[in-house]
Structures are given as structure tokens and as C-alpha cells.
């Protein structure tokens, strides 16, 4: 089949990872993918500027109007791409105020699959600086309802989609996944040597470092822990880094916290391999964290919140250790003190990734099956 892939993503972060991984997996299955987004060049390398853009430069009302306004030239480009390539399926990565795909669906009847990674109207109202809250909710509902099939990344997120009026028959959950590099074994020795982690029990975290990730709890844990071989290894960068470094200095554990900074995708699996315990200290209640599956694939024991979206993937005590409110420190202490538990949980997590096929190749197969049904129905 031929997929026309519509998106509004310039960032070279987890969004780009998702886009690249899925489209490459579709191509590996023999499909053609025609990309239609804000840039046609290959994704740039990750750096500290990858998260900066117009969001912080324009007042919220102006930025939101610009987001909606962008839909018009994007729709023209998408229409031209559809006319030129004659795709079988329109696949779009949802973004707030981005109506290009829905408008093309309404205009042409092209079967429309919409991937939804977050309820952005609610997320930005809570964590961002959303001005037009009512308009944002209406925009989101309209976009979701236009799609023939909506693909939320968790059942928890699917509840938002249902509440927006999308029928159950048009909703299918597809969790995030991993690529082949994370399924392969990596010798941690070189990464441990690079960062001076030999002989340490490494508490690891990957990703863009925000305050809500709760990494301050791991820093405070180091200051209180009775053993001095514990080391916090943060693979990533972000706005919370400076505060964490100050906190570590104030608590006298700066020498036991290492920031790798931004690490390119091709080196990420080797860095995760250097972890002894993988941290997901906090999570929004609807996300399907990429890091969670990457930790699991590398056979790392994961500590994570006991929220509904995490319980869709991990079973506490079987393939991860989940904690309730205020339970992070106790759960982490239990893993630190029990090497056998760490080994058992890590092995079970890696086995679950394979058994449930939490891979981009598996996700491409799932998308293919949906696309075939839509194509047949439209014939």
C-alpha cells in the first residue's frame, strides 16, 4: 500500500523517533510512505535546542492562532501530495489545532488513520500556557471525530477519545515500541568506563529532563541512602537539569550524579545497557513512555508509578516494581537491596516485550492490518 504520512513535527525528540521508527517499519514491510510535514530534509541531530521553538517566543493567543493558521498551507501541501502520489491511506500524527488531514479526508474520502499520543488540549491547559481552552477542546474533538480509525497509545488515553464522541469501533490502542537495536544485547563496559561508572550500582533515566519527571526524589534518595556505591546516571538534558545539579550540590552528592547530556539514538541502547535499575519516577496518566519499553527490552528492572497506563504494560512484582503515592523510596530501596529481584524482573520485562511484540515492526503490522480493512471498505 501507499501511505501519505501527515505531521507537524520539527522537533528531533521522541516525537521524531516515533515518526521515523514507524515509517521505516512500514517501508520494511514493503509499503511506500510519502512524507508530508513542515520539513522534507532528514531529521537533524538532537541537541539542547531541539525543544525550543515559537512556543516560548510568542504570546499564547498569537501562537495558538498561528497553529491553526498553519493548517491552511499544510492542507494545500497535503492535497497536492495526495493528488501527485495517489495514496491508499492517509496517516496523521495528531497535533492540536492541526486540521490538515481531517480537511483532506472530508474533501476526498481518503481513508484516514489518526495516531494520538496525548490529549493535548488538557495537557497544555495543565502543563503549558493554553489561552483558548474552549477552542482547543473543540479543535481536538473535531480532529479526532474526522478519522476513520483513531490510534491512542494507551487504554487510559482511549478514555479521552471515547469522551470526545469517537465510537468504540473506531478506536484501537497501539502502545509504543522499540526497534531492533534495543532488542540486541549491548556490553555496558564501554559506557560505564566513559562516565566513570565502574563498580557503581547505577540508577538510570533517559529522556528530556522536566521537573515533573520527579528526578529530584532520586537525588534526595542518594543523600539518605546508607551505601555510597549508588550513582544516578541521567541520559538526556532539559530545563530541570540545572535545578537537579544545584540540589545534588546542596545535598553533597554532586559526585554521584552524572548527566550524559543529549545522546543520539544510535547510542541510546548502549547507554541503557549500563543501568542496573531503570527509573520512571513519574508519568502523566495517559502516556505510553518510549523509555519504558526501551528499559524493558534491555532487560532492566523498572521502577514506575502504579498508574493505570503503566499497569497496562507492567505487573508489579512480576516484570517491574510499581509504587503508589509516596512509595518511590521504599520500592527503590527494595530493588537496590535485592540483586535476585532485579535480575528476575529485568528478564521478565524483556520476555514480555517479545511476547507482546512491543516493537515498531509489530506496530507497523498492526497499522497495516487496519489500513487493509479501511482500503477494502473504501473499494
281 and 214 Cβ atoms separated by less than 8 Å: yes
Q: Any bridge partners for residue 206, and if so which?
A: 235
Residue 344, domain extent? 180-356
What does the alpha-carbon distance between residue 364 and residue 171 come to, in Å, rounded to a whole number? 17
Asked whether residue 209 falls in the same domain as residue 349, the answer is yes
- The predicted structure's pLDDT at residue 43: 40
- The per-residue DSSP string of 307-319 comes to -HHHHTT--BTTT
Convert 171-205 into a string of H (helix), E (strand) and C (coil): ECCCCCCECHHHHCCCCCHHHHHHCCCCCCEEEEE
Same-domain status, 91 and 232: no
Label the pairing between strands 112-116 and 89-93. parallel
* 3-class SS of residue 3: strand
User: What SS3 class is residue 286?
Assistant: coil
DSSP state of 260: -
Task: Give CA–CA dist 235/232, Å, rounded.
Answer: 10
Residues 154 and 184 in one domain: no
Beta strands in 53-132 (DSSP E): 89-93, 112-116
CA pair distance 110, 71, nearest whole angstrom: 18
Q: What's the confidence (pLDDT) of residue 47?
A: 43
Give 80's contacts (C-beta < 8 A, 6+ positions apart). Answer: none
- Strand ranges in 219-342 using DSSP code E only, listed in sequence order: 230-235, 257-259, 277-279, 302-305, 321-323
Instruction: Give the pLDDT confidence score for residue 157 in this predicted structure.
Output: 98
Residue 72, number of CB atoms within 10 A of its CB: 11
Q: Indicate if 61 and 83 belong to the same structural domain.
A: yes
Report the alpha-carbon distance of residue 6 to residue 139 in Å, rounded: 17
103 and 171 in a single domain? The answer is: yes
Asked if residues 179 and 359 have their Cβ atoms less than 8 Å apart, the reply is yes
- 197, 202, 350 from 188: Cα distances, Å: 10, 11, 17
- For residues 116 and 80, state if they share a domain: yes
Please report the sign of the dihedral spanned by the C-alpha atoms of residue 259, residue 260, residue 265, residue 268: negative
pLDDT at position 19 is 94
pLDDT values of the chain reduced to their tens digit, one per residue, 379 residues? 999 999 998 876 778 889 999 999 999 999 999 999 986 444 444 444 444 455 567 899 999 999 999 999 999 999 999 999 999 999 999 999 999 999 999 999 999 999 999 999 999 998 878 999 999 999 999 999 999 999 999 999 999 999 999 999 999 999 999 999 999 999 999 999 999 999 999 999 999 998 888 999 999 999 998 888 999 999 999 999 999 999 999 999 999 999 999 999 999 999 999 999 999 999 999 999 999 999 999 999 999 999 999 999 999 999 999 999 889 999 999 999 999 999 999 999 999 999 999 999 999 999 999 999 999 998 7
What CATH number is attached to the domain comprising 54?
3.40.50.2000
Regarding whether 167 and 58 lie in a shared domain, the answer is yes
What separation, in Å, do the N-terminal and C-terminal C-alpha atoms of the chain show?
Answer: 13
At 91, phi and psi to the nearest 5? -120, 125
Is 133 in the same domain as 259? no
302 plus 332 within the same structural domain: yes
Same domain (yes/no): 97, 162 = yes
In angstroms and rounded to an integer, the radius of gyration of the C-alpha atoms of the chain is 21
Please report, for residues 82, 83, 85, 99, 136, the alpha-carbon distance to residue 107 in angstroms, rounded to integers and kept in the order given: 11, 12, 16, 12, 23
Residues 6+ apart with CB under 8 A from 56: none
Answer yes or no: are the C-beta atoms of 341 and 301 closer than 8 Å.
Answer: yes
Number of domains in the chain: 2
Residue 363 has a pLDDT of 98
Does one domain contain both 269 and 226?
Answer: yes
CA 349/CA 328 separation, integer angstroms: 19
- The confidence score (pLDDT) of residue 42 equals 42
Both 118 and 232 in a single domain?
no
Q: CA-based diameter of the chain, in Å? A: 67
Question: Are residues 240 and 210 in contact, defined by beta-carbon separation less than 8 angstroms?
Answer: yes
Looking at residue 58, what is its pLDDT? 83
Q: At what angle do helices 241-250 and 215-224 cross, to 10 degrees?
A: 10
Cell of 227: 551505601
Amino acid at each position: 500500500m501507499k501511505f501519505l504520512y501527515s505531521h507537524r513535527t520539527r522537533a528531533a525528540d521522541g516525537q521524531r523517533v516515533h515518526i521515523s521508527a514507524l515509517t521505516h517499519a512500514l517501508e520494511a514491510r514493503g509499503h511506500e510512505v510519502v512524507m508530508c510535514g513542515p520539513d522534507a530534509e532528514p531529521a537533524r541531530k538532537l541537541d539542547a535546542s531541539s525543544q525550543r521553538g515559537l512556543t516560548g517566543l510568542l504570546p499564547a493567543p498569537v501562537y495558538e492562532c498561528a497553529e491553526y493558521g498553519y493548517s491552511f498551507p499544510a492542507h494545500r501541501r497535503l492535497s497536492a501530495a495526495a493528488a501527485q502520489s495517489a495514496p491508499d491511506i492517509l496517516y496523521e500524527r495528531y497535533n492540536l489545532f492541526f486540521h490538515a488531514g481531517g480537511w483532506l479526508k472530508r474533501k476526498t474520502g481518503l481513508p484516514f488513520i489518526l495516531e494520538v499520543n496525548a490529549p493535548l488540549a488538557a495537557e497544555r491547559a495543565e502543563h503549558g500556557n493554553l489561552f483558548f481552552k474552549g477552542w482547543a477542546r473543540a479543535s481536538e474533538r473535531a480532529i479526532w471525530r474526522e478519522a476513520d480509525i483513531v490510534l491512542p497509545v494507551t487504554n487510559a488515553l482511549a478514555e479521552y477519545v471515547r469522551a470526545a464522541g469517537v465510537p468504540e469501533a473506531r478506536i484501537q490502542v497501539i502502545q509504543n515500541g522499540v526497534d531492533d537495536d534495543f532488542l540486541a544485547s549491548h556490553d555496558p563496559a564501554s559506557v560505564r568506563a566513559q562516565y566513570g561508572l565502574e563498580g557503581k550500582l547505577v540508577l538510570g533515566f533517559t529522556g528530556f529532563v522536566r521537573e515533573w519527571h520527579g528526578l529530584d526524589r532520586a537525588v534526595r534518595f542518594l543523600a539518605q541512602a546508607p551505601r555510597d556505591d549508588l550513582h544516578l546516571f541521567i541520559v538526556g538534558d532539559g530545563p530541570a537539569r540545572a535545578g537537579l545539579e544545584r540540589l545534588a550540590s546542596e545535598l553533597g552528592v554532586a559526585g554521584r550524579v552524572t548527566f550524559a547530556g543529549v545522546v543520539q539514538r544510535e547510542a541510546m541502547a548502549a547507554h541503557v545497557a549500563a543501568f542496573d535499575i531503570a527509573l520512571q519516577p513519574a508519568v502523566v496518566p495517559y502516556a505510553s513512555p518510549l523509555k519504558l519499553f526501551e528499559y524493558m527490552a534491555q532487560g532492566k528492572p523498572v521502577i514506575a508509578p502504579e498508574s493505570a497506563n503503566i499497569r497496562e504494560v507492567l505487573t508489579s512484582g512480576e516484570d517491574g516494581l510499581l509504587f503508589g503515592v509516596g512509595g518511590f523510596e521504599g520500592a527503590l530501596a527494595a530493588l537496590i537491596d535485592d540483586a535476585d529481584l532485579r535480575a528476575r524482573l529485568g528478564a521478565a520485562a524483556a520476555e514480555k516485550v517479545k511476547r507482546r511484540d512491543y516493537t515498531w515492526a509489530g506496530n507497523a503490522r498492526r497499522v497495516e492490518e487496519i489500513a487493509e480493512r479501511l482500503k477494502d471498505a473504501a473499494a
